Chains A and B, each alone.
Chain A
């Protein structure tokens, strides 16, 4: 029991931190520009694919550095030449634009790389068990994932709160006009933030690719979950996104790991139904089964009872 809990927690942590890497970029972009980047998970996918192609030539580590940069540059270009033009048509148009972008990136990836799953592997250096507990191994690569995530967040925190650029960004989030009047180039800041946000997503893709498999559907798998997280945590709140990411990561991990379900609950209550009961599907529900929909359930509940999310500010 304990070993299940420990490993579920560790795996949940890995997932949660990964999700936060995606959610943080999304939150930054939303806070800054008011647009929820539907294509965020697509940049994550691009990160994985770029890293894969690079790793074929020069190994994993070059990909780790270069792929996020490539994705970031691409993101900045998208902002400069696409999003900025759509901005004047309103928020709905921006959302639809990013939605179309996600669709296009999906198709483009299949065009350039094919529709098959890519054999993107983690580096051999990290191919050993970090530790063994209760007879189960915890791969070093996962430890690496946790390590990189934490490093990035510490770096992000320091840049945002201690550096000059970070302070300007924080100001531009709430008062872009004032910041512009102070002489800062707000469009450039926007482009930079979008680039950094997408680069973060790309980085997440680089490290997650080997573990979560690199295939054209990988954006869809994570895409909705990331939105759920950002909304639950409160649109525009980084701490909220962190809490929500960890919450969702751990929740899903525990749900999948546990073998508890409705049958056990009903047994506890002393009720039983025969197999031909029309609601049989409901009575045989198990936690691992509903694990994929837990985030959405949480989303709907949060949006109904606390539309601002856990830590978000009220929408103006």
Chain B
């Protein structure tokens, strides 16, 4: 009952979310699009679970893929068990298995690793992550060695006649799970444990002085995030019907960190944005350029330096201006700086691509660029410089507008 009333407050958003999740494959129905949506779904749950740790709880983990991977491995094994009818239930419940395993693993590992946050926690998470990833190669009976293990999701009881052989069928299962997982992760943030997680993140010392053991709060966040990471692993297993050691290792842990960070830590919607953006970059950009990972790396680094709160953080930075009703005053300064920035970006990318293409002409944004031609280089460089000058020129105006839009009124005096 309480759940319904809480959602009801923001129900337009939730309804829109559900509609988007269910409706997207109706608008974009190509095989590629469905595959991308499936990846996004997995990424959203995984990144949201990571944010419970880092954004909400302030715990930087380099080994979060463990819970994702373990959930996935158990999920695939369960698919195999269903196939041989050792157990028999609909595969739509597979993510539950993933979640349970993720939770159990998190309870075990969290029992000794949540004593402190900060660097020690990060190092333990790295060590555990590497340990488990390396062990998975050793225990090849369970983990399948380098080749991993695979299963088949078309077994088990059908769901209203659907056997989930097709990707769009499994997408709807994923979409419902994403909605449920998002909902519960959101509701967690509205509970005492969730709020205290924020408090412990901001000031673990002070949290103790209002009656809470920081360690216990961290442990709860840790277990919850393991649970949902395991669910994401289960979704992965359902989608790909295949899982390897790679899905437990440091690279996967790094990827979810990237997703959450770029999207924006500490804001609930951040990881959703991050998962969407990164999945798009991964699937679409990689078709256009070999260098997309390089761009990703640069973008990540720039985000850390200039936009430490990510895309969501950038949006939420305007919160005070919104409260002050001064948002409109920022529109023109943003435009004046935005246009030259885009040109500058396009120019730099053009130059990088030209260096990479080693003499061959190629298409870029509707133009044909020839790396051998001095004129091409001169034009691109010229535009870039001009754009840079434009950005520098527009900066002071933006600063001024920003400061005036963000003034906090003084507190009222309290008279006794």
Contacts and interface: CB of A to CB of B under 8 A. Distances in A.
Interface in A271-316: 278, 280-282, 285, 289-290, 292-293, 296-297, 299-300, 303-304, 307, 315
B135 A86 contact: no
Interface in A76-130: 82, 85-86, 89, 91-93, 95-97, 99-101, 103-104, 106-108, 110-111
B162 to A, nearest CB: 35
A120 B237 CA distance: 42
Contacts of B250: 224
B300 A92 contact: no
B126 A104 contact: no
Nearest to B135: A293
Given A104-B294, A281-B139, A303-B124, 12 more contacts: A91-B119, A95-B122, A100-B301, A101-B301, A107-B296, A235-B119, A285-B138, A293-B135, A296-B127, A299-B124, A304-B112, A307-B115
Interface string A58-92: 00000000000000000000000010011001011
Contact of A303 (B120, B139, B301): B120
Nearest to B141: A281
Nearest to A277: B141
Contact of A224 (B118, B130, B261, B305): B130
Given A293-B131, A293-B134, A296-B127, A93 B304 contact: yes
Contacts, number: 111
B120 A307 contact: yes
A108 B189 CA distance: 39
Nearest to B139: A281
B148 interface: no
Contacts of B308: 86, 89, 93
B254 interface: yes
Interface string B143-177: 00000000000000000000000000000000000
B304 A96 contact: yes
B105 to A, nearest CB: 14
Tell me the interface secondary structure of chain B in the complex: helix
B293 interface: yes
B272 interface: no
B305 A85 contact: yes
Contacts of B304: 86, 93, 96-97, 100
A231 B138 CA distance: 25
B81 interface: no
A53 to B, nearest CB: 16
Given A235-B119, A281-B139, A304-B112, A107 B305 contact: no
Interface string B228-254: 000000000000000000000010001
B146 to A, nearest CB: 14
Chain B interface residue bracket vs A: 35 or more
Contacts of B120: 231, 303, 307, 315
B135 to A, nearest CB: 6
A33 interface: no
A104 B123 contact: no
A52 interface: no
A278 B301 CA distance: 46
A111 B257 contact: no
A315 B204 CA distance: 15
B58 interface: yes
A282 B261 contact: no
6 contacts: A92-B58, A103-B254, A231-B127, A281-B141, A300-B127, A307-B120
B300 A103 contact: yes
A99 B254 contact: yes
A287 to B, nearest CB: 12
B382 interface: no
Contacts of A290: 138
A125 B339 CA distance: 59
Nearest to A224: B130
A293 B139 CA distance: 13
Nearest to B124: A303
A89 B296 CA distance: 21
A193 to B, nearest CB: 18
Contacts of B300: 100, 103-104
Interface in B49-63: 54, 58, 60, 62
A95 B60 CA distance: 9
A280 B297 contact: no
A303 B124 CA distance: 7
B206 interface: no
Interface string B283-311: 00000000101101110110011001000
A307 B115 CA distance: 10
Contacts of A99: 62, 254, 257
A280 B119 contact: no
Interface in B93-129: 112-113, 115-116, 118-120, 122-124, 126-128
Contacts of B372: none
A242 interface: no
Contact of A281 (B128, B140, B261, B293): B140
B29 interface: no
A241 interface: no
A43 interface: no
Contact of A278 (B58, B118, B141): B141
B131 A104 contact: no
Contacts of A85: 305
A227 interface: yes
A297 B123 contact: no
A219 interface: no
A285 B139 CA distance: 9
B153 to A, nearest CB: 25
B301 A104 contact: yes
B208 interface: no
Nearest to B59: A92
A291 to B, nearest CB: 10
B356 interface: yes
Given A86-B304, A231-B123, A92 B297 contact: no
A68 B141 CA distance: 45
A215 to B, nearest CB: 16
B305 A82 contact: yes
B297 A228 contact: no
A36 interface: yes
Contact of A103 (B128, B140, B291, B297): B297
A38 B135 CA distance: 23
A89 B261 CA distance: 13
